[in-house]
Structure 1
Amino acid sequence: MLVYAPAALLFLVFCVRVARERRKFSNAVILGLAVLCALAAWVFQLVRSGSASGQAVAWALLGLGALGILVLTCLLFLNGMQMVRKEGRSPTNLLSLLAALCILGVVALLVTAVVVRTPLWVGVGVAAGGLAAYLSFLFLSFVFYAFLYGRLRVRRKADYVVVLGSGLVGGSTVPPLLASRLTRAHAVHAGLAKRGGSPVLITSGGQGPDEDVPESHAMADHLIARGFPADLIEREDRSTTTDENLRFSKAIMEQTKPDYRCVIVTNNYHAFRAALTARRTGIRGQVVGSPTAAYFWPTATIREFTAVLVAYKRTNAAICLLIVLGGVLAWWARHNGAG
C-alpha cells in the first residue's frame, strides 16, 4: 500500500488547504496531482501483478482514454456548431470549435512523430505531447475543483449578498443569464434571513455604451418586481468588469460594516474564477453559482480556464518553455544518436 502514500499525502495537504482557504487555484492543482498519483499507483499495481486480468484492465484504461479523446473532440465540435447557430460567430463562441481543432492537431502531430521518427518530428512530438498533457491536466483539475467548489456549503451568516452583472438586452431588459443569477441571489438571501440575519443585497453593474440604464438598476427593478424588499437593495452602478464589480462592492460593504461577511452570486461556470478574483481583491466571502444553459457551459468553461491561465501567465509560460526545451533536447538526442 506504500505505492498510494504520495496520493494520500497530497490529498491530506489538499484538505488542510481547503479548510484554510477555498479560493486558491493551487487547491485544484494539488487535488489533480493526488488523483493522478492514485491512478498511476493503481495502474502500476495492475501491471506489476503480471496477471492477465491486470494487464487487460491496464490496456482497457488506455483504450478508454483514446475513446474519451475521440468522444470529447466530437462533442466539442458539435457544441461549437450549436454555439454559432444560437449565439453568433464571435471569437468567444468559436472556442469549442478551436479546442476540437487543437486536439485533432496534437493527435496528428503525435501520429506523424511516431510514424516518421526523424529528429525534427520527434522533437515536435515531445513538445506538442508535453504541452497537451500539461494543459489537459490543468483543465481537468480546474473543472473538477470548480465543480467541487460550487457545492461547498455557504457560511451560516453573511451581511451582504452581491450579484454580479452581465449585460442587458435591448438596453434595459435583464436577459435569462442574469435573471438566473438574480433568482439564485434571492434564494440565498432568503436562506440567510431564515437563520436570523437581515443581509443587504448589492446589485453590481455599471452602464455600458449600448445600455439605457446601469445594469444594477435593471437588476434591482427585476428583483423588486418579484417581491424583493426595495429597502434591502444597494446599487453599485460604476463597474464594467468583474474586478470592478468586486472592488466597488467591497468599498460599499467596508464603509457600512468593516468586519462584513458576504456571499457573491454569479453563474456556475464563472463561480470559481470569481472566487479567485475575490481573494485577490481581499473580499471576505464565498462565491456561489446559478444554473446555466447546458449548451453554453463548454464554451464558457474554456473561456474561464483561459482567463485563469492568463492570470498565472508567468508560471504557465515558464513551465511551457521548459516543456518546449524538452522537445529541443529530444531533437538533439535523436539527431546525435542518428549521426
Structure 2
Amino acid sequence: MVAYLLAALFLALFAVGVRRDVRRFGNAVLLGLAVAFAVAGLLGELDRLPDGVLRAASDVLPAAAALGAVVVAVLLIGNGMVMVRQEGGRPANLLSLAAGIGGFGLIALLWAAAHVESRTLHAVAATALLVAGYLSFLLLCFLGYAALYGRMPPRDDADFVVVLGAGLVDGDQVPPLLAGRLDLGIALALAGGAEGRSPVLVVSGGKGSDEQVAEAVAMAGYAVDHGVPADRVRREDRSRNTAENLRFSAEIMRAERPEYHCTVVTSSFHVLRAALAARRAGVPGQVVGARTAGYYWPSAVLREFAAVLLSYPRINVAAVLLLVMVGATAGWRP
C-alpha cells in the first residue's frame, strides 16, 4: 500500500512539474519514481500468490533480468560495430560498444562475487551494481520522458521555426542527418500558422574548422532550393554548439519580434536535451525531432544522456559518491 501511495505522490508531483514547464529533466525523474514505486507495489502483490507460483516467480524473475542484461549488452556491442563501420571510430561513435562491453564486465564481476569468498570483491561488486543501477534508472527516465516529449504535436502559432545545425560534409554539403532536420523545418515553415501567416525559418550553425562555409549558409541554400522564399530565411552563423544555436537564434528572433514563440527542430535523439537547453536559454519554444537512422540512434542517445548528466554535476557526483560509500561499507553477500 505504501508503494502505491508513493507512486501516486510522485505522479502528482510530475503533473505539477509538467504544468510549470514541460522542459525539465526533474519531470523525467519524478515520472520514473512513480513508475518504480508502482512496479514495487505490483511485485509486493506476489506474496499473495500460492507457494508454488511464488517459488516459480522467484526463480523466473532473476533469470529473466539476467538474460535481459545479456541481450542488451549483445545488442549494444553489435550496434557499436555497425557504428564504427558506418560512421568511423571517433570516440562519440564508440559509446554503444563501450556500454555493451561494460555491461558484460559488470555481469562477470557479479558472477565472480557470487562464487568467490572475498569481502573486497563483494564491496567492489556492490558498488558497481549500485552505481550501474542509478545510471540505468536515470537512463530509463531519460528515454521514457524523451519519448513522451517527442510525441507532443508542434504548436501552430509559432512565429519562427529554428533548425539546429549538425555539421557539413565535404566542407559545404548538407548531410542526410541535417537534411532530415531541414526537411521537417521547411515543412513546418511552409505549412503556415494558426493566423494564416507562415513562420520565418531560422537556420542555425557556425563554421567549423573543417568546413568551407558556415552551416547556416549551406542550410539556407538548401531551404531556398526546397521552396522557402529567401526573404523568409534568417541565418544564424556564429554558433558552435546547441546552447549558442539557441542563444544567438533568440537574439535574431527577439530583434524581429520581441514577443515571439518558436518551434525548434533537431534530430529525434536530441529533442530532450535541446528542450532543456532552450529552457535554460529562455527561449519560448517547443522542440520537435526529425527521424534518425536506426543504427545511429543508440550511440546518439547515450551521448545525449551523458551530456544531460554532466549538466547536473553536483547532484550526480553526490549521488555516486554516496552509493560508492554504501557499497564499500556494506559489501555484497551472495
TM-score range, shorter chain: over 0.9
Map of 1:218 onto structure 2: 218
Give me the whole-angstrom Cα distance separating, in 2, the residues matched to 1:310 and 1:107.
26
User: What corresponds to 1:121 in structure 2?
Assistant: 121
User: 2:286 is matched by which residue type in structure 1?
Assistant: Q
Aligned to 1:88: 88
1:309 to 2:333 alignment: no
* Pairing 1:41-60 to 2, within 5 Å after superposition: 41-57=41-57, 59-60=59-60
Would you say the 8 A contact 1:158–1:192 is kept in 2?
Answer: no
Query: 1:156: which partner in 2?
Result: 156
Q: Secondary structure at the match of 1:105?
A: helix
Map 1:253-292 → 2, pairs under 5 A: 253-292=253-292
In 2, the alpha carbon distance for the partners of 1:284 and 1:59 equals 51
Quote how far apart the aligned CAs of 1:195 are.
Answer: 5.1
Deviation digits for residues 263-285 of structure 1 (CA, Å, limit 9, x no counterpart):
10000001100111111111111
Gapped regions of structure 2 (runs ≥ 5):
none
Q: How many residues align?
A: 333
Partners of 2:269 and 2:304 within 8 A in 1? yes
SS at match of 1:196: coil
| 1:199 CA displacement | 1.4
Structure 2 match to 1:337: none
CA distance in 1, matches of 2:44, 2:55: 10
Query: Contact between 1:157 and 1:197, CA under 8 Å: does it hold in 2?
Result: no
Paired residues for 1:158-307 under 5 Å: 158-193=158-193, 196-307=196-307
Quote the Cα distance in structure 2 between the aligned partners of 1:189 and 1:47. Answer: 57
Does the 8 Å CA contact 2:192/2:199 hold for their aligned counterparts?
yes
- TM-score normalized by the length of structure 1: 0.94
What is the distance in 1 between the residues matched to 2:120 and 2:205? 52
Mapped to 1, the partners of 2:267 and 2:111 lie a distance apart of 39
CA 234–282 in structure 1, closer or farther in 2 if over 3 Å, else same: same
My pick for the range that moved more, 252-261 or 130-139, is 252-261
> Does residue 69 of structure 1 match 2:69?
yes
Moved over 4 A (4+): none
Cα displacement (A) at 1:147? 1.0
Deviations 1:246-296 (A, max 9, x none): 110011111122211111000000110011111111111111000000000
Report the 3-state secondary structure (helix = DSSP H, G, I; strand = E; otherwise coil) of the residue aligned with 1:193. Answer: coil
TM superposition score normalised by structure 2? 0.95
Structure 1 30/59 Cα, relative in aligned 2: closer, same or farther at 3 Å? farther
Greater shift, 271-280 or 147-156, is seen at: 147-156
Equivalent residue, structure 2, for 1:36: 36
Structure 1 Cα separation of the partners of residues 213 and 249 of structure 2: 18
Q: Deviations over 1:98-128 (max 9, x none)?
A: 0011111111111222211322112111101
Structure 1 residues 212 and 320: CA distance shift in structure 2, 3 A:
same
User: SS of the residue aligned with 1:163?
Assistant: strand
Amino acid at match of 1:172: D
Structure 2 Cα separation of the partners of residues 15 and 100 of structure 1? 35
- SS across alignment from 1:265: strand
In structure 2, do the counterparts of structure 1 residues 117 and 330 end up closer, same or farther at CA, with 3 Å as the change threshold?
A: farther
Cα pair 2:190 2:228 within 8 Å, conserved: no
Q: Summarize deviations over 1:126-156 as a string: whole Å, max 9, x none.
A: 1011001000001111011111110012223
Q: Structure 1 pair 43/55, CA: closer, same or farther in 2 (3 Å)?
A: farther
Structure 1 residue matching 2:302: 3-state secondary structure: helix
CA contact (8 A) 1:163 1:181 kept: yes
Contact 2:158 2:193 in 1 (8 A): no
